Amino acid sequence: MTNKQKAKELIEIIDSHFWHKGEDRPLYHYPRNQDFPEFGELWDYAAYAMAVSSYALRSREETAVFHMKRVLDRMELFRADDKTARYYLSQSPDKGMKEPYYDDNAWCALALCFAYEAAKDMRYLLTAKEIMRYIYGGWNEKQGGIRWKEFYCDTTNACSTGGALIVSLKIYQAAGEQEYFVWAQKLYYWMRGTLRDTDGLYWDGIKTDGSIDKIKYSYNAGIMIWAGALLYGITGHNEYLEDAKRSAQAAVKEWLPSGVFTCDCPWFCSFLIEGFIALNKHADMSGTLSAIQALLDKAQREMRTKQGFYWRDWILHDPANTEKHEPICHKGLYQYGVVSIITAMTEFKA
- Omega of the bond leading into 31 within 30 degrees of 0 (cis): yes
- Report the C-alpha gap between 43 and 268 in whole angstroms: 12
Distances (CA, A) of 106 to 86, 178, 247, 273: 12, 19, 22, 18
Q: What is the pLDDT at residue 261?
A: 79
Distances (CA, A) of 79 to 44, 91, 122: 15, 9, 19
Query: Does 266 fall in a domain?
Result: yes
pLDDT > 90 fraction of the chain, expressed in percent and rounded: 83
Query: Does 122 fall in a domain?
Result: yes
* Domains identified in the chain, total number: 1
Could you report the per-residue pLDDT of 147-168, keeping only the tens digit for each?
999 999 999 999 999 999 999 9
- Which of the 8 DSSP states describes residue 331? E
- Report the C-alpha gap between 105 and 164 in whole angstroms: 9
Query: Does 17 fall in a domain?
Result: yes
Residue 254 near residue 201, CB atoms below 8 Å: yes
Query: Does 65 fall in a domain?
Result: yes
Residue 68 near residue 119, CB atoms below 8 Å: yes
Residue 148 near residue 155, CB atoms below 8 Å: yes
In this structure, which amino acid lies at residue 57? L
Residue 308 near residue 9, CB atoms below 8 Å: yes
Query: Does 350 fall in a domain?
Result: no
- Report the C-alpha gap between 93 and 81 in whole angstroms: 9
The domain spanning residue 124 has which CATH number? 1.50.10.20
Q: What is the pLDDT at residue 325?
A: 52
Query: Does 162 fall in a domain?
Result: yes
pLDDT range class, residue 348, cuts 50, 70, 90: very high
Evaluate if residue 321 carries a pLDDT over 80.
Answer: no
Lowest mean pLDDT among 66-75, 223-232, 318-327: 318-327
The length of the chain is 350
- Which of the 8 DSSP states describes residue 138? T
Q: What is the pLDDT at residue 326?
A: 54
The phi, psi pair for 184, rounded to 5°, reads -60, -45
Residue 140 near residue 194, CB atoms below 8 Å: no
Could you report the per-residue pLDDT of 266-311, keeping only the tens digit for each?
999 999 999 999 999 999 999 999 999 999 999 999 888 889 999 8
Query: Does 113 fall in a domain?
Result: yes
Evaluate if residue 316 carries a pLDDT over 60.
Answer: no
Residue 26 near residue 95, CB atoms below 8 Å: no
Query: Does 161 fall in a domain?
Result: yes
Determine the structural domain holding residue 146 and report its residue range: 3-345
**pTM attached to this predicted model:** 0.96
Evaluate if residue 327 carries a pLDDT over 70.
Answer: no
